[in-house]
Structure formats: structure tokens, C-alpha cells
Structure 1
Amino acid sequence: AGELKATAGTLRFGGAELQHAAPERRSRAGIGYVPQDDAVFGSMSVRENLLLGAVRRPGKPDIDEALQIFPKLAQRLHQAAATLSGGERKMLANGRALLGQPELLVLDEPTEGVWLGVVEEIADRLQALAGRMAILIVEQHIELALRVASQAYVIDRGRVALHGSSAQVRDDPRLLTYLAP
């Protein structure tokens, strides 16, 4: 889903080989991606950003689904995305990705730089979404990740150090050795 090319292994999704596919092909295959940094088009309005996410949908684009999930965006539809708070920009990027109707949503640090109250709001929304699509979260906020995920992998220096159900990883005493001080 991202821009970097894979250097090893394979990437398959829905039976399709996507390792060397361009990001737009990965998107068409059903993978939604929200990058870590500034994932909105700042000079465009909130509404225009959301409409970009709905281009794959047949018929007239409908942004109501994103507004139901992130209702704060409804108050900002005509506002330039660059003027949103960090948390609102994260919500906008997530909403835009959801409008592409992904089967898999990949989120890179969805709460980085976001106020704690907004972190909780994003976590609540992700929990609700996890019931209808696969979500892959790369996240340093361990409590959020374990609350949202059914399976967890702790990566240390590029290798899987722990894995299992979220409850198993949460209860594993070795987890503390991998958390930043």
C-alpha cells in the first residue's frame, strides 16, 4: 500500500501478487493505507480530501460513511485540511482511506502527535471498524494497539520478538523488556 518497494519476501493479498505493484494497484486490490506523516492534502478542503477516497466507488461519491465514523469532520467540510488540528488530520486521513472500501486497512502510527483525548476517540473508532475489515496497525502506543488488535506482534530490531493473541502478549512478562523507557 505504501511507496517503498519490498526488498525481501512476498506480498500477496486476495490471491494477487502485489510485491512489485504500484500503490494505486494495491489500493484497487482492496488495501487502504494511511501513512504516518501528513496524510492529507492541505490546500484542499476536508470535503475534497474525502471525495478523493471515494473515487473507486461506483456511482456518485458519498462521504457520509466517513462523517458517521468521524463526526467532527462534518463541522469542517469547507475548511482547508492544513488548518485542522493533528487529531483532526488523522481522522480525515483515516476517513478518506475508509471511503475506498478497503478489505485491509494499514495504519502507520495512527495516534502519533495526537492529544490523548483524540487517541481514545481514534481507538474507539478502530475497535468498531475491526469488526468489518482487517486492520494492520503499526503503533508505539501499546495499550491502544492491544485494545484494538486480536493478534499482536512486537518487533525488536526488525525481528518478531513476541506474538500471539493480544491478551497473551499483554500478559507476557517479556513485553516490558521491549517497551521504551
Structure 2
Amino acid sequence: MPDAQLAEAAAKTAPATGGEILAVSNLEAWYGESHILHGINFNVNAGEVVTLLGRNGAGKTTTLKSIMGVIGKRTGSVRFNGKELIKSPSDRIARLGVAFCPEERGIFSSLDVRENLLLPPVVRPGGLSLEQIFDLFPNLKERLKSQGTKLSGGEQQMLAIARILRTGASFLMLDEPTEGLAPVIIQQIGHTIARLKKQGFTILLVEQNFRFASTVADRYYIVEHGKIIDGFANSELAANMDKLHTYLGV
């Protein structure tokens, strides 16, 4: 069964569900002379979907990039499965099972869907096969020979997520996966995230679309001016709606 295969793939690279997989402490980051993150602190447990919420420019994307090691200057601590990553290059971080899907998606317009899918290297065991990916994203199988420029925004987002699932990663960082997409595609992305979570993948999600995030997240952290200013579980959502209106303007 496809879901059983997904579970097997996730199990090869993830610790037991519930244990802490990521611990971020006093994380600071700079773009040149611009100080963006000012002591970020949060954690993610294995098998969770954790969402970073906040307005534009709050530091959410910079947090993901800092974890992935693609920010030139960063200090503090980023521990993944107990290993310190703060001085590690991004290729070494990827080999530990961490993958980053950027907001801009990075689809190569001159390559077709199959070529885009096969481009990233497999960095550790447990990556999904093309058959498993097509089970998650049937649209991609139908567009295998279509160039990147001919894909819709939703298809590009599916392709961007599909590529990192091939690599063997079990910890997925998704940056604004619903940005600019039609409601029906947003719903499909939500179903995919829920299915991946069910099979044991861990997901750190950056979103401005709180209504979408509320359908998939286990916990939330609020990012403002480069700091985590609040956090709560999905079970506490109703009690925190007034604060969310203030933080996000939703």
C-alpha cells in the first residue's frame, strides 16, 4: 500500500514520534549588516506539524534559512536529533535528513517535470520513489513532459514539495506553500501535509494564511521583529483567537 511505503520511508530517517527532533536556542542571524533574528527559541517534536506565524518581514523565512545553513552569519544553537548544526554547511545539514522548500519554489523553467524531479541528489536512504510521489501528486504524473514554464502555480508547488521527498529527508521545512494558490489547490496541499504527518514525517511550516495553518498544525509560534513572542497548541486555539487577531490582523 502506498501509505505503508510512505511510513516505511519516514521511519528510516525519523526518531520515535513525540521525541524532540529540533531545538533552536538564542538563534540570531544577519543579512550583511542587517540584524534580522534576535534570539529565536523554539522546538519541534518528531511527527509534528509546527507552524511559524507572523506578518511579512517578521523573520519567519530567515529562521528556516538559518536552520538550513544558507544564511552567511548566524549565532546561537540549532540542534537536530541532538547534533549541533550552527557551524555546519547546508549540504551536511541536508545529509542529516533536513530539507527546505523555499517560497519561490525554484522550478527550472527549461526542464520538464521529470527532469526537475530527478535533479536534487538523494542524500540519505528512505527517499520516496517516483511511484510514491505520483500517488501523492497525481497531477505531476500527467505533466511529466511539460516544461516548468507551462505548469500552473499549484503544479509548481506540488513539484517543489515532491523534489525534497526524493532526497531522503524526514524533516521538511515548507515556506509559504499556499502563497498565491487557488482554494482548491490549497486544500490539496493541506491534505498532502496531513498525509505526510500521518506517515511520520515532521514538518516546520511558515505561513501567513492562518486559516490554512489551523487545518494542519499541532502547534504554533508567533514571530515578531525576529523573536518568538508567543506559542500555543492547536487545542488552545480558541482561547488565543483574540491575541492572533492582534498579532496577525486576521
TM-score exceeds 0.5: yes
Q: How does 1:1-181 map to 2 (within 5 A)?
A: 1=68, 3-5=70-72, 7-53=74-120, 55-56=122-123, 62-131=129-198, 132-172=200-240, 173-180=242-249
Q: Counterpart of 2:9? A: none
RMSD: 2.1
Q: Which runs of 5+ in 2 are unaligned?
A: 1-67
4+ residue runs over 6 A deviation:
none
Aligned length: 180
Contact 2:120 2:167 in 1 (8 A): yes
Using the TM superposition, name which of 65-74 and 163-172 deviates more.
163-172
From the superposition, tell whether residues 6 and 142 of structure 1 become closer, same or farther in structure 2 (CA, over 3 Å).
farther
Q: Which runs of 5+ in 1 are unaligned?
A: none
Letter in 2 for 1:174: K
User: TM-score, structure 1 length as denominator?
Assistant: 0.90
User: TM-score, structure 2 length as denominator?
Assistant: 0.66
Which one has a larger percent strand, Structure 1 or Structure 2? Answer: 2
Inter-partner Cα distance in structure 1 for 2:87 and 2:180? 31
Which structure is higher in RCO with an 8 Å CA cutoff and minimum separation 6? 2
Contact 1:46 1:92 in 2 (8 A): yes
Inter-partner Cα distance in structure 1 for 2:135 and 2:183? 21
Percent identity, aligned pairs only?
35
Inter-partner Cα distance in structure 2 for 1:62 and 1:19? 31
* SS of residue paired to 1:118: helix
From the superposition, tell whether residues 108 and 76 of structure 1 become closer, same or farther in structure 2 (CA, over 3 Å).
same
In the TM superposition, what is the alpha-carbon distance from 1:41 to its structure 2 partner?
A: 1.8
From the superposition, tell whether residues 57 and 17 of structure 1 become closer, same or farther in structure 2 (CA, over 3 Å).
closer
Inter-partner Cα distance in structure 1 for 2:108 and 2:99? 17
Letter in 1 for 2:134: L
* SS of residue paired to 2:105: coil
